[in-house]
Structure 1
Amino acid sequence: APEGAGGAVRVHRPAEARAHVRARGSDVQAGDLALEAGTVLGPPQIGLLAAIGRGTVRVRPRPRVVVISTGSELVQPGEELGEGQIYDSNSFALAAAARDAGAIAYRVGAVTDDAETLRATIEDQLIRADLLVTTGGVSVGAYDVVKEALTADGQVDFRKLAMQPGKPQGFGTIGPEHIPLLALPGNPVSSYVSFELFVRPAIRALMGLDDLHRPRVRAVLAADKALTSPSGRRQFLRGTYDAESGTVTPVGGAGSHLIAALAHANALLVVPEEATSVEPGDELDVVLLG
């Protein structure tokens, strides 16, 4: 009956014992491990923490990654291209890759080929960086400013790795707080492959995750002809992986400038150092790119 009308409520069915009553501890009991250390906190996990009365928990913040591209020839997209200039694609791709890995990314586009300017730019960025990534200027040319700017204090080591693309690499720490720095090559494909292999695991480690690397699978090469690879170098070719058939098909060529091929790929084909060719139908390792 309406409230205040003085009526009565007649119940025709008895309420069974404990009907519509939640048992205490039926969700999480005292002494249970609610969430393991290293768990990424999404909406359900935050809801669970609130439900068990935890006002605060200790977490690792997202690492702040500063991406700096170098090269006097670089122009920002949207601006006019002059003679001998190209658009800066690396800083955009690597900043997006850092976000994809779970970081907060800051993009610093196209620092000119001058060691002092680069050094000053890096010093300015140290205040907001947990990890610094540079791209370009690490080979053995006249304008390898990253090398010039960073070898002076001796904390960054430059090497030639037995891989293709991505042979020239630099790694070390910078500044009074020893912020980790990874210096990647300047070719667009080289820089992205290097990011996936070296920078992404570093970001994931800073986040406290155990799962550092992209998943790898074995796949059968589906191609019209054999793939060739230089002896003594581990080659990473772009391809499309089909989980249903367990095959991988190469996309584009091996050139380190072929961004279009990379944009249409979802995997990297790994040709080992000792292999100089892979025949159609052969099995090889494949790195899945999300």
Structure 2
Amino acid sequence: MKKLLLLLITFTSIQQFYGQSLKSYKHIENDTVYLDFINPFYAPMEVKLLPLDSTKGFIKVNPYSFLKYKDTLKKAVAIPIARLADTSKIHIQSYLKFKANFGDSKSDADNNHAYLLPYPKGKRYKIIQSFGGKFSHNDPHSKYAIDFGTKVGDTITAVRSGKVFFIKEDSKEHCRTRKCINTANKLYILHDDGSMAHYVHLDCEGALVDVGDIVKAGQPIAISGMTCFTTIPHLHLVLYKSGGLSIPFYFKGQKRKKLKQGRFYKRKL
């Protein structure tokens, strides 16, 4: 006997993909429930599954998988029916831990690519926090992030051409503590070398593009806002390679590869 049921499996990761979901199909064969995982995002992802100490004695998992867009990992998890009180309601987090990161570990980011500043030509903004900033740019996830002092309502442009693969724009919340860390409006773009740009703290319903759109460098993509863990309005820009590691980058028309905190920078190109 087989039954198919579309589930949404929420996962967390070092890239702070809070609230995002993998898709999963549940099917029953004989005395076992199987879950197949599908990647619904336009970006590839690496998924790691780890049984809990309390369940590792009876469930089986595929510990690692690399999934491109719409790829399916069949029979990723196997749970004996005898261990389930109700096969129609499976809280997967009660059985295993998820870790997932966007990106392909086999791709190499182009360290020589020169990016555009993330706002329209002729505009200038102050750097609130640069690479290695002491306030919040002090771990591998955010070491090479830059905070631009934009105002709510300002236009954000793409720093490089690529494909939009994730948008969150439903939040109006911000606060001065990390309890708001999950409320950021954000937009992610995948580049042709496998690197990914994250634009964070956007306005509610502030995306000017849709998931799946191909955007050009310099194209308006979003409206700046003030959401998530922040004390002032700004744009948080960070580039990643696979594994959730931020990577250094530099901008066209700027003499310094590292923008200096407290200085204003004008987009000339």
The TM-score with structure 1 as length reference comes to: 0.24
Q: Which one has the bigger helix percentage?
A: 1
Q: Which one has the bigger strand percentage?
A: 2
The TM-score with structure 2 as length reference comes to: 0.26
Q: Which structure would you say has the larger RCO, counting Cα contacts within 8 Å and 6 or more residues apart?
A: 2
